[in-house]
Amino acid sequence: MTRPLIGVTTSSRSGWRIFPLVALNIWFAGGRAVRWGAGRPSDVAGINGIVIGGGDDISPDLYGGEIVAAARLDPDRDALEQRLVCEALDQGKPVLGICRGSQMINVALGGTLDQNAYETFAQSRKFRTILPRKTVHVRPGTRLMDIAGPEEMTVNALHSQAVDELGDGLQVAARDEGEMIQAVERVVDPFMLGVQWHPEHLIYAHRQRAIFRALVGAARAGMQAGDQIAAARRSTA
């Protein structure tokens, strides 16, 4: 069976070491990955799904926030990923957002970010580690619950910002112990799920691998639907 092709955006600083790990998760889930980034070809029509990866902060210019002196920004990547999310929505392609990618899904769909999330949510414990230290609670009735189950998760955390006002068509899928948003998802298809943690580093955890399987599964379903449409057109030509 042909493996769905997943475009993966990465940071220009750390993509060289993160992309292979994301690609491995995608391969185990039944897909294959191609690396995207500013200056690299990125055609949504030519792939079956997208991962918006982690990395630099998103420019507050995109959502009406204020520039923070400590922020590391990449305007070219911002523009690329905002376009990809919107095109994926238009073309019905599934998207998984990881950390920054979760925030980009929200911003691209008209939402905002809390730039001082750990000040706003004082009860949320701040971790900066790829080790599973943070507890998140999956909300009932969400797609994330269907994917990974209803039990609380122990995940990693590297972020300082978080989703604030939700973008169009999104709902909260998980929060941490201090009620900070940790996952968002589209209410209806196409599949769009954003997680604030880094499941690619938790490849040994079956619930985290299930997140990649869900993306690849949605990509395969879209690929098969496209093949059926093409076959129907050929039969009537």
Token duo for residue 135: 């507890």
- End-to-end CA distance of the chain: give it in Å, rounded: 27
Give the integer Cα–Cα distance in Å for 108 and 114: 15
Catalytic residue, chosen from 81, 159, 185, 200, is 200
Active site residue 86: no
Catalytic residue, chosen from 99, 159, 185, 201, is 99
Give the integer Cα–Cα distance in Å for 2 and 24: 17
Active site residue 66: no
Pairing, β 170-176 against β 129-138: antiparallel
What radius of gyration do the chain's Cα atoms show?
A: 17
Residues 16 and 40 sit within 8 Å (Cβ to Cβ): no
Active site residue 198: yes
Catalytic residue, chosen from 81, 159, 185, 198, is 198
Catalytic residue positions? Answer: 99, 198, 200
